[in-house]
């Protein structure tokens, strides 16, 4: 995608097999897309491709392995960061109803009570929270300086290119799965799941927004 780095571009085209290879090669998880969203947020926000579902599961499984060995502060910064409209990766994964991604994030210490700009917490089915072994905050390797989280990686702008797309507000069930549709602005209720975080990780959101007057991820 225009403005993306190889890692986020792989996720934009639902190539989770390639994204996993980047993880295995040690590519930085700190790279951002043009809206300053991290790799993990992009992966959580990306609509699941049924044909690539096993590859996506493998990506999340390997990310959990890598993240569990990180210093606790770094791990928690990666999974609890706030991005488009104040959403965390858990907000995005919950709205996309990605069970494996949600359970992975929860086991790694994602905040279940994180509140986005609409006052919403992640919408996670209660059954997904059962019998999870959650890492302690201090689990993992030695602590390190987290100044990198305040600045984009070298060569990337600190400011997003253009206006970040707004979140759609409702979910509609279709024959192909869960699709996002535009709706009225929701009330700020913690009991109501956050709307899906649309990001620059989709390649054709501008065209969809123009034709449908809404933002959808590819």
pTM score over 0.85: no
**Whole-angstrom Cα distance, residue 19 to residue 208?**
25
Q: Mean pLDDT over residues 66-80, rounded?
A: 94
pLDDT at residue number 91: 97
Q: Mean pLDDT over residues 60-89, rounded?
A: 95
Residue 13 has pLDDT above 80, yes or no: yes
**Distance between alpha carbon 206 and the CA centroid of its chain, in Å?**
19
Q: How confident is the model at residue 176 (pLDDT cuts 50, 70, 90)?
A: very low
pLDDT at residue number 157: 53
**Whole-angstrom Cα distance, residue 97 to residue 103?**
11
More confidently predicted of 146 and 111: 111
More confidently predicted of 165 and 73: 73
Among the ranges given (33-37, 43-47, 60-64, 186-190), the one the predictor scored with the smallest mean pLDDT: 186-190
From residue 151, give the alpha-carbon distance in Å to each of 79, 155, 159. Answer: 17, 11, 10
pLDDT at residue number 88: 97
């Amino acid at each position: 995608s225009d403005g993306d780095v190889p890692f986020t571009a792989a996720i934009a085209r639902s190539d989770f097999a390639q994204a996993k290879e980047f993880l295995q090669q040690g590519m930085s998880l700190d790279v951002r897309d043009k809206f300053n969203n991290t790799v993990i947020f992009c992966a959580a926000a990306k609509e699941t491709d049924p044909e690539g579902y096993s590859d996506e599961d493998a990506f999340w499984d390997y990310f959990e392995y890598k993240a569990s060995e990180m210093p606790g502060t770094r791990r928690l910064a990666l999974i609890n960061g706030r991005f488009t409209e104040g959403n965390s990766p858990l907000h995005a994964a919950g709205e996309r109803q990605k069970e494996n991604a949600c359970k992975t994030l929860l086991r790694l210490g994602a905040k279940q009570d994180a509140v986005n700009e609409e006052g919403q917490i992640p919408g996670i089915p209660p059954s997904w929270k059962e019998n999870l072994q959650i890492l302690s905050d201090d689990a993992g390797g030695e602590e390190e300086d987290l100044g990198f989280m305040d600045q984009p990686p070298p060569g990337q702008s600190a400011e997003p290119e253009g206006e970040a797309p707004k979140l759609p507000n409702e979910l509609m069930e279709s024959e192909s799965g869960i699709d996002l549709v535009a709706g009225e602005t929701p009330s700020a209720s913690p009991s109501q799941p956050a709307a899906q975080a649309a990001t620059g990780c989709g390649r054709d959101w501008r065209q969809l927004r123009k034709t449908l007057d809404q933002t959808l991820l590819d």
